[in-house]
């Protein structure tokens, strides 16, 4: 019997990817944890940041892959990493949008 094909969005469960679950919560994949599987290592679990609640949870990769395959988690894209321009040493760059 043929193995079921993996959902095309499952490989997108990588660090800095953004997701929305069925409850409307925004999730950020923060970190992968690996386990050895024979000669290779595979992702065993992931740390997720619940952006709406500012909380971190850890879930098994298989559970998250099943949620993606069932359409219960939708891929929203990647977290943009902005690198400010280089400034001379000793110069303080003002961060816009930051609250004191």
Assess contact for 1 and 20: CB atoms under 8 A: no
Mean pLDDT check: name the lowest of 8-17, 75-84, 85-94: 85-94
Whether pLDDT at 100 is above 70: no
Contact 78, 15 (CB under 8 A): no
Chain mean pLDDT for the chain: 84
pTM, two decimal places: 0.71
- In this prediction, residue 74 has a pLDDT band, given cuts at 50, 70 and 90, of very high
Domains detected in the chain: 10-78 (2.40.10)
Does 5 score more than 80 pLDDT? Answer: no
Average confidence (pLDDT) over 59-66: 94
- pLDDT at site 9: 87
Residue by residue, DSSP assigns 13-57 as --TTEEEEETT--EEEEEEEEEEEETTEEEEEEEEEEETTTTEEE
H-helix or E-strand spanning residue 74:
strand 73-78
């Amino acid at each position: 019997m043929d193995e079921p094909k993996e959902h095309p969005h499952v490989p997108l469960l990588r660090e800095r990817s953004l997701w929305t679950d069925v409850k409307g919560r925004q999730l950020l994949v923060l970190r992968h944890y690996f386990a050895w599987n024979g000669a290779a290592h595979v992702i065993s679990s992931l740390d997720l940041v619940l952006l709406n609640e500012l909380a971190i949870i850890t879930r098994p990769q298989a559970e998250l892959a099943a949620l993606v395959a069932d359409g219960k988690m939708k891929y929203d894209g990647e977290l943009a990493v902005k690198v400010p321009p280089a400034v001379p040493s000793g110069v303080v760059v003002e961060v816009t949008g930051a609250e004191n």
